[in-house]
């Protein structure tokens, strides 16, 4: 009697092994995609933050320069959203906050009738307060809060800034 030797081919992969490999690659793909999306979202948030901060800094620099060089502050107590002053030429001028906190409208800071803040920034908080100085210069404190009007969700940036302008005594 002769015995035949049967050799089985075991060099292939089983269905279970293929499913495990596919699952591992799918999990890695999901993790890599999420990290790339978070990185891109962080970049957009940074751009949004820079845009809002530059816009507020410009507005504050104009307000500070005008108030510091003003002859007098004529109205600072009747409304926290408006401040009026008399410039060196004797003209009355003002800074005011418009549409701040109103739903569906973009808030902005204005000098007279001209906008200081751009349309891409929504001013959500704005106030002016005066302090009379006795033995020290009088001052105006300006509080501003703004967000990017075009960004949504996690990419949106809110910036709050406060500055105090010391007025010249003449």
Whole-angstrom Cα distance, residue 89 to residue 71?
9
pLDDT in tens, 22-59: 999 999 999 999 888 877 777 788 888 888 899 999 99
**pTM listed for this prediction:** 0.70
pLDDT in tens, 62-81: 999 988 888 888 877 677 88
pLDDT in tens, 109-145: 988 778 888 888 889 888 998 887 776 678 889 999 9
Where are any strands of DSSP class E within the chain? 72-75, 82-86, 92-98, 108-111, 114-115, 121-131, 139-148, 158-166
Element (H, E) at 1: none
């Amino acid at each position: 009697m002769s015995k035949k030797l049967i050799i089985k081919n075991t060099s292939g992969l089983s269905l279970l092994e293929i499913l495990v490999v596919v699952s591992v690659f799918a999990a890695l793909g999901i993790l890599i995609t999420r990290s790339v999306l978070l990185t891109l979202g962080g970049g957009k948030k940074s751009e949004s933050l820079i845009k809002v901060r530059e816009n507020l800094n410009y507005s504050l620099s104009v307000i500070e320069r005008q108030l510091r060089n003003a002859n007098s502050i004529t109205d600072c107590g009747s409304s926290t959203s408006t401040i009026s002053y008399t410039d060196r030429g004797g003209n009355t001028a003002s800074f005011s906050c418009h549409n701040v906190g109103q739903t569906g409208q973009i808030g902005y800071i204005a000098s007279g009738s001209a906008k200081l803040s751009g349309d891409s920034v929504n001013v959500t908080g704005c106030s002016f307060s005066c302090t009379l100085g006795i033995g020290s210069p009088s001052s105006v404190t300006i509080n501003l809060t703004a967000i990017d009007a075009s960004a949504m969700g996690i990419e949106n940036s809110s910036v709050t800034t406060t500055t105090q302008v010391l007025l010249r005594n003449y």
